[in-house]
A = this chain, B = another copy of it.
């Protein structure tokens, strides 16, 4: 995540002014994730000890300190609206549409994260499902808007290469996003204990790398392609 940030910001001079705000935000998303993954790492290390007695097998023990999943949700609360905004900005829609889409998707996605958290910290399975269902309402709104609404914007990109990259970014968003509700369900279907926590953390981490770093590389590729088109003067009207 931290390396991705550095890559995006070092590429800023290589794109035209039109895409610098998108690329700046792309790097901020992975920076915020870097910070929270360090917090998650430390919290994980404080919650579990791995040790071997007398040179025997290593065993994992609870230390008594909690593993704080709150860092993940604070991360998402900040990064999920921002990564939707970076996608909207790189599409270069008319300004009024950019502002209105940013507000709608930004607020809906923050609401989605906020509604997920009360269920995540619950042991009671029915309460977990209740918050999962509530959170899925803004989730479906965002994913539907991206899958359908932005299809039109994709077709208006200035070159076939830009259009196919924009389309890839749109589908990567939908795919990586759909991972999260399934990972959330790991504990809701009755799995518990250290193994469930481990599967959940591996799942969320993989989805985060796709949704932030890999997605960011696509945003950069779109910005670079559109900058090349603009600089060669082949810009089609949009």
> Measuring CB to CB, which residues of chain A are less than 8 angstroms from any residue of chain B?
2-3, 6-7, 9-12, 14, 17, 20-21, 24-25, 27-28, 31-32, 35, 50-53, 55, 58, 62, 64-66, 78
Contacts and interface: CB of A to CB of B under 8 A. Distances in A.
B6 A31 contact: yes
Contacts of A55: 62
Contacts of A51: 64-66
Interface of chain A: mostly helix, strand, loop or mixed: helix
Contacts of A66: 50-52, 58
A161 to B, nearest CB: 9
Contacts of A21: 11, 14
21 contacts: A2-B35, A3-B31, A3-B78, A6-B24, A6-B27, A6-B28, A6-B31, A7-B24, A7-B25, A7-B28, A10-B12, A11-B24, A14-B17, A14-B20, A50-B65, A50-B66, A51-B66, A52-B64, A52-B66, A53-B64, A55-B62
Contacts of A50: 65-66
Given A17-B14, A58-B66, A28 B53 contact: no
Nearest to A9: B10
